[in-house]
Amino acid sequence: MQNMGLTRVFLGLIGIVLALIIFPLILTSTNTIITDAQTDNFTGVVDSGPPNYQATITLTQDLYDGSTSRVTSIISNSGTDTPVAGTYTVASGSLVVTGLNAGAPGTTSRNLVVNYEYDAVDQYTGMNSIATIAPLIIFIGILFGSGVSIYSGVKSRRNNMGRSHPYKVT
């Protein structure tokens, strides 16, 4: 019975380690729940010419959070292009693609494939907010439970110090 306090401390520490290991996995799965992947193909895209060599395309879905960081890849059939998501306008759904090659102004036509993430739960009011905050609540709950276990174990060990038998009061 005297080792019960040590067991609680040990279990509390294991809980904290597991929380730190599992938390990134929960965040990844939450992102998978609230977003879906989309691929749009654009043919005959013509750049704007010098000095920027960029093109504006309209995506079929709105970028998640309106952020260009949700564009996972842009592929061009022109070997000299290094396409990058520039700016995104939420109101029109237009994405400016920069990094296109310097061909003759307005004549270089290419095909672009844009892979991006969009909001998968927009039809469920509040679902996005709940799914975003849930991992944090779970993480805090695990840490709190582990902390209580450690505190309880330390307190139990302190109360049992000096006793030869857990049931014998001296």
Whole-number average pLDDT of the chain = 84
Structural domain boundaries in the chain: 4-31+126-160, 36-119
Quick one: pLDDT band at residue 118, thresholds 50, 70, 90?
very high
pLDDT given at position 93 = 94
**pTM for this one?**
0.68
Contacts 24+ apart (CB under 8 A), 98-103: 98/52, 98/53, 98/54, 99/53, 99/54, 100/47, 100/53, 100/54, 100/55, 100/76, 101/47, 101/53, 102/50, 102/53, 103/47, 103/53
